[in-house]
Amino acid sequence: MTSLLDSLRQYTTVVADTGDFEVMRTLRPTDATTNPSLILKAVQQDAYRPLLAETVQAHRGASTAELADRLLVAFGTRILGIVPGRVSTEVDARLSFDTRATIERARGLIALYEAAGVARERVLIKIASTWEGIQAARVLQSEGVRCNLTLLFSLPQAVACADAGVQLISPFVGRIYDWHKKSAGASWDEAARAGANDPGVQSVAGIYRYFKHFGIETEVMGASFRNSGQILALAGCDLLTISPELLKELAGTEGTVTAALAAEGGEVARIDADEVSFRTQLNEDAMASEKLAEGIRAFVADGRKLDALIEAQRG
- Residues facing residue 149 across a β-bridge: 127, 169
Amino acid 70 reads: R
Whole-number Cα distances in Å, 70 to 53, 59, 148, 233: 12, 9, 19, 37
126 is catalytic: yes
Residue 144's CB is within 10 A of a number of other CB atoms, namely: 9
Question: Per the residue annotation, which of 126, 212, 248, 305 is the catalytic one?
Answer: 126
DSSP one-letter string for the chain:
--BHHHHHTTTSEEEEESS-HHHHHHH--SEEE--HHHHHHHHTSTTTHHHHHHHHHHTTTS-HHHHHHHHHHHHHHHHHTT-SS-EEEEPPGGGTT-HHHHHHHHHHHHHHHHHTT--GGGEEEEEE-SHHHHHHHHHHHHTT--EEEEEE-SHHHHHHHHHTT-SEEEEBSHHHHHHHHHHHGGG--TTTTSGGG-HHHHHHHHHHHHHHHTT---EEEEB--SSHHHHHTTTTSSEEEE-HHHHHHHHTSB--------S--S-------SHHHHHHHHHH-HHHHHHHHHHHHHHHHHHHHHHHHHHHHH-
Closest CA to 206 of 275, 158, 149, 160: 158
Instruction: Show which residues are catalytic.
Output: 126
